[in-house]
Chain A
Amino acid sequence: MLTSETKQDISPLGSPGSKIDLTFKRRIAEICGENVMSCYQCGECTAGCPAAFSMDIAPNQVMRMAQLGMKDEVLESSSIWLCAGCETCATRCPRGVALSKVMDACRQLAVKEGKHIKQPNVLKFHKEFLRQVTWHGRAHEIGLMGIYKVRSRDLFSDVFSGIQMFLKGKLGLIPSRVKGLAEVRGLFKK
């Protein structure tokens, strides 16, 4: 069972050795268009978040830390990788901030800036998924699961369900391939 990680003692001055970066909130806004300064800490996002129980920094804390420029703490947290993108926070925020988009922006910044990724398997999964799309133009579920398992060294979980699905004809071995693959690959360029 997933248990909450030890809550860090977060002081308003940040953790030792980390720097305050006051441009952090602007970077977030440039990427996703959300203004973290609108947040007034009501806690609605954390109350409704299905993943908050497993996060090291609660969603409302991510917002507050972004306001304060605690970039390293946010980008190196588990939380940004444990957001499931369910949009509950964005639906309920009384200030109209889509925290789900802020999480997206933080993930992108963490990868771009080569930060320590606290949930490497989640990133591996996303990268593998997108690699599938560059190969075939579509996600090939059995290939995705197989390669992800090798890369994450998690070989034996869910094998039974996988076999069951395969026997029920749900996991085709041959990926269907998009004809306009060159066009799809072209969309991956920045």
Chain B
Amino acid sequence: MKYAYFPGCSLESTGKEFNESTRLVAEDLGIELIEIPDWNCCGATSAHSLDHKLSIALPARNLGIAESMGLDVIAPCAACYNRMRGAEVEMKENADLRDRINSDLEKPYTGKIGVKSALEVFTFPEVLEKVAEKTSRKLPGLKPACYYGCLLIRPPKVLGFDDPENPKSLDTAMEMVGAEPVEWYFKNECCGASFGIAKSDMVVKLVGDIISNAKKHGANCIVTACPLCMTNLEMRQAAVGKLRGEDLTMPIFYFTELLGLAMESQGVKKCFASHLVDVNPALDAIGREQAVLVES
């Protein structure tokens, strides 16, 4: 298995543990990732809010480069995946727009390759089989609330991945490594995404609802596959706990970190050091030695 890898801006910065753990796990599973040379930003929420053509053109440039490599794209970040997949679908369906955008591109995109999320690729049955095979230390006692958020599963017409109302892929992956995912109500509710900075009071409320529900259903951590969900859930939990007068401290993991932990991928523990919220309570629950917190 070989993919053109699109890390995206967040994975270079606030979501660097997602980047590191994705690469480590892919390597252990024999999935070759070749970074798309000279990739640009997918445009995220800001492009589609203000300029429709731009929101297709920015991802299209990356798709064109990937097409010249002859490889399907894997984009771990939920927003990048959503925008790139949206561009793939629109470029295939709307010939007029495709021609207009391609005339501005050095490497045109003609629809020969497609886009997948890391969650999709790592939960292919044959990949999960390999995960199970390579899992040397299962994670019993870990009770994750699997949190899919929005852009990995919606809109289903465009993405065509998993069930938008009751997604299961992340839960299946967690069961595969011996964790016990909890049933809860907020697996596909929005965390406020890009409002983390511009409208943080909205994010505080949404994050509070999500973590509170996960706790109520017995979760001892939340697992995500999106760098924005991660940032919002980590950054806002203290403020909302204070506001509500409840303890909403909750370790948040990327699913790739937990796959790596189970497969004992070399160096995966380094990822835990850059979390904003201490993950050790969750590691204690599975009887793992603590992560080293002071290292870079």
Given the known A-B contacts A125-B46, A141-B13, A180-B106, are A85 and B155 also in contact in the complex, defined by CB atoms under 8 Å? no
Select the stretch in A37-45, A65-73, A170-178 that faces chain B: A170-178
Q: A158 an interface residue at 8 Å Cβ cutoff?
A: yes
Q: A88 an interface residue at 8 Å Cβ cutoff?
A: yes
Q: Which of B37-54 contact A (CB under 8 A)?
A: 38-41, 43-54
The CA-CA distance from A171 to B104 in the complex, in Å, is 32
Given the known A-B contacts A87-B150, A125-B194, are A184 and B40 also in contact in the complex, defined by CB atoms under 8 Å? yes
In the complex, how many residues of chain B place their beta carbon closer than 8 angstroms to a beta carbon of chain A? 60
Q: B175 an interface residue at 8 Å Cβ cutoff?
A: no
Q: A47 an interface residue at 8 Å Cβ cutoff?
A: no
Given the known A-B contacts A2-B205, A138-B9, A183-B104, are A107 and B16 also in contact in the complex, defined by CB atoms under 8 Å? no
Q: Are A50 and B189 in contact (CB under 8 A)?
A: yes
Given the known A-B contacts A121-B199, A161-B235, are A111 and B154 also in contact in the complex, defined by CB atoms under 8 Å? no
In the complex, how many residues of chain A place their beta carbon closer than 8 angstroms to a beta carbon of chain B? 64
Question: Which of B12, B61, B164, B193 is close to A91, meaning CB atoms less than 8 Å apart?
Answer: B164
Q: Are A84 and B195 in contact (CB under 8 A)?
A: yes
Q: Are A85 and B45 in contact (CB under 8 A)?
A: yes
Q: Which of A110-146 contact B (CB under 8 A)?
A: 111, 119, 121-122, 124-127, 129-130, 132-133, 137-142, 145
Minimum-distance CB pairs A-B, first 5: A86-B190, A87-B154, A129-B46, A125-B198, A86-B150
A-B contact pairs, 20 of them (CB 8 A): A1-B243, A32-B52, A84-B193, A87-B151, A87-B155, A88-B150, A90-B155, A104-B48, A108-B51, A129-B44, A129-B46, A130-B50, A132-B41, A133-B43, A138-B9, A145-B197, A168-B275, A169-B296, A184-B40, A187-B58
Known: A84-B192, A170-B16, A189-B104. 4 other contacts (CB 8 A): A84-B193, A122-B199, A170-B14, A187-B58
